[in-house]
Amino acid sequence: MGDASVQNAWIIYKKHNPDASQLNFRRAVAQTYLRKFQNLPRSTGRPSTYSSESKVAVDIRYDRTDHYIEFIPNNKRRRCAGNHTASSAVRIQCCKCNVGLCMQCFSSYHRKS
């Protein structure tokens, strides 16, 4: 976010919150971007259990935008990240989330329960 756009946002914010400081506003903007675009540190070694929730941010998984089925190239297989599948090895994935999903789990995986 450019400095001019932050300044313009601050001016609008100040009209509705006259007691707010610009420093706290800029900190809130920075913290929002850090939470949204954070990169989780990679753990060393092989994970003990498969967890799709740790791989895909909730904001991305449930945003209901641009989640399309794509075939995994070269006839490779992936583990289905859904909960309702009979077979764990699948040949399709969500192109946005980058997780393997069978056809039965695809739509339920992207909806909040």
The answer to whether residue 45 is domain-embedded is no
The verdict on 66 and 96 lying in the same domain is yes
The verdict on 32 and 76 lying in the same domain is no
The answer to whether residue 50 is domain-embedded is no
The answer to whether residue 76 is domain-embedded is yes
Tell whether the model's pLDDT for residue 48 goes beyond 60: no
Tell whether the model's pLDDT for residue 107 goes beyond 50: yes
The answer to whether residue 28 is domain-embedded is yes
Assigned token pair, 94: 């969500």
Q: 109: buried, middle or exposed (CB in 10 Å: 19+, 13-18, 0-12)?
A: buried
The answer to whether residue 47 is domain-embedded is no
Tell whether the model's pLDDT for residue 101 goes beyond 70: yes
The answer to whether residue 20 is domain-embedded is yes
Question: Domain range spanning residue 96?
Answer: 57-109
What are the tens digits of pLDDT across the range 8-20?
Answer: 999 999 999 889 8
The verdict on 61 and 105 lying in the same domain is yes
The answer to whether residue 79 is domain-embedded is yes
Tell whether the model's pLDDT for residue 45 goes beyond 80: no
What are the tens digits of pLDDT across the range 49-87?
Answer: 555 445 788 888 888 888 999 998 887 888 888 876 666
Task: Indicate the pTM of the whole model.
Answer: 0.49
Tell whether the model's pLDDT for residue 35 goes beyond 50: yes
Q: In a 3-state reduction of DSSP, which class is residue 40?
A: coil
When divided into structural domains, the chain yields a total of 2
> In sequence order, which ranges of 17-102 are alpha helices (DSSP H)?
22-36, 58-61
